[in-house]
Amino acid sequence: MTQSGAETPAITEPTSGQPDGSMGSEPQPRKGRFNVSSIRAALAPRAMALVLILIVFMFTLLSPRFATVSNGQTILELASVLALLAIGQTFVILTGGIDLSVGSVVALTGVVAAKIVQGNPDMFIPAVIGGIGVGLTCGLINGTLVARFRVPSFIVTLGMMTSASGLAYYISNGSPVSNLPKNYLAISTLNLASEGGFQLKIPVVLMVVGFAVAWVILTRTAYGMRIYAVGGNSMASRIAGVRVNWVLVSAYAVSGTLAGVAGVILAARVTAGIPATGTGYELDSIAAVVVGGASLSGGVGTIGGTALGLFLIQTLNNGFDMLNISSFVQKIIKGALIVGAVYLTSRRRD
């Protein structure tokens, strides 16, 4: 019984499947139907591969010489040196840094290796080790200054770029270091296998191995996870027990070592240690990583994306050369491509 004049509150049941009983103003998407958002989400990770396929198709139509075995081999061989730099650059950029010194380190290591082996075939192994060692040393110096002394990577590697270039000119007296023995030149010319006119040479093998090893390290090891963690949030990584300084130094050491390998190969390819070689390679290596989807703020990027970015740039260069397009126009297009890639990466991240 209730008192007179008092009303019993009515108990109502939810009228919809919403926990709060609301009807829900947002319509639920039907399963099995495509919309713009789902298509965009599906294509975003594959966009670079699709662009590369379209570019290959376009150049194949425009030039009958493009889709040939010999031209494919040319693209691979030209990409091999830059690939090593791009792999090392990927490690650095993932930590949130940048390495502007790799081009000058290529020149310095090539000059050092050529100077050691010049006119003396017996010095082949010391020349290779010496060149790579110089690259490793440059990387360790960069990493130490960035990690231990907190100097911005841009400033550190800019200084190393200038110093390494000056040292290369000093050692070579500003002239090419030539008269290299045949066993050293074989680094670039030795054919490991041949099939249907395609020749497999050492630089291409090193490129493939480099990408494979880098992929395993970044995706299957604890060290790779630490690289991404430091780039994503170095302070949180330090609190979590990650040796941030060691990770940073090692990333720059990887970049310097691979620049050393690239310098040794390039000196063999051009048959001399030339202090001007490697000019602009630092920008091309950064472009390959950024076009491949990496974020310059760190923590975002893949080695597969770097490979796609590298071959996209190399394919464009090769196709434009075949079509006799001005190098000035090529630089304009490459610059626009880099800006567009950074924009799309930032949009995807947001």
Judged on CB neighbours under 10 Å (0-12, 13-18, 19+), 181 is middle
Of 36 and 315, the one with more pLDDT: 315
Query: Do residues 271 and 185 touch, judged by C-beta distance below 8 A?
Result: yes
Q: Where are the domains of the chain?
A: 68-278
Predicted local confidence at residue 336, as pLDDT: 87
Predicted local confidence at residue 7, as pLDDT: 47
Query: Do residues 139 and 253 touch, judged by C-beta distance below 8 A?
Result: yes
Q: Which helix (H) or strand (E) holds 57?
A: helix 47-62
Query: Do residues 72 and 198 touch, judged by C-beta distance below 8 A?
Result: yes
Predicted local confidence at residue 60, as pLDDT: 94
User: Sorting pLDDT into bands at 50, 70 and 90, what band is 333?
Assistant: confident
Rounded to whole angstroms, the Cα distance separating 207 from 215 reads 12
Q: Which tens digits make up the pLDDT trace of 217-228?
A: 999 999 999 999
User: Sorting pLDDT into bands at 50, 70 and 90, what band is 341?
Assistant: confident
Predicted local confidence at residue 39, as pLDDT: 54
Predicted local confidence at residue 38, as pLDDT: 57
Pairing of strands 198-201, 191-195: antiparallel
pTM for this model (two decimals): 0.86
Angle subtended by helix axes 202-220 and 182-189, to nearest 10: 60
Query: Do residues 83 and 211 touch, judged by C-beta distance below 8 A?
Result: yes
